[in-house]
Amino acid sequence: MASALTAATSSDAREISRDELRRRLEDTSLTIVDVLPEASFVEAHIPRALNLPLEQIPTRARELLPDLAADIVVYCAKFT
């Protein structure tokens, strides 16, 4: 993955709560990325989320996430 992207350091990344995510769902400056397989994404996903399965990150991240400085939320479990 490091060859396709500039990896964020642990100091760059932070965890947000479910409540914060819910508050920001209408914030178009927030990019939401579902890294589950496509079948899981089709079954259910957070509104506006992009599907970028883990195995596709090295080849598709630049295409789907051109602004790596933007606020990006990544999730890997069903949203409940």
Taking the domains of the chain in order of start, what are their residue ranges? 18-75
Q: How do residues 1-46 score in pLDDT, each as one tens digit?
A: 333 444 454 457 889 899 999 999 999 999 999 999 999 999 999 9
Q: Measured between alpha carbons, how far is 50 from 74 in angstroms, rounded to an integer? A: 10
Q: Measured between alpha carbons, how far is 20 from 69 in angstroms, rounded to an integer? A: 19
CATH classification (class only), 18-75: alpha beta
| pTM recorded for the entire structure | 0.78
Q: What angle do CA 80, 18, 79 make, to 5 degrees?
A: 25
Helix, strand and coil in the chain, % to nearest 5: 30, 15, 55
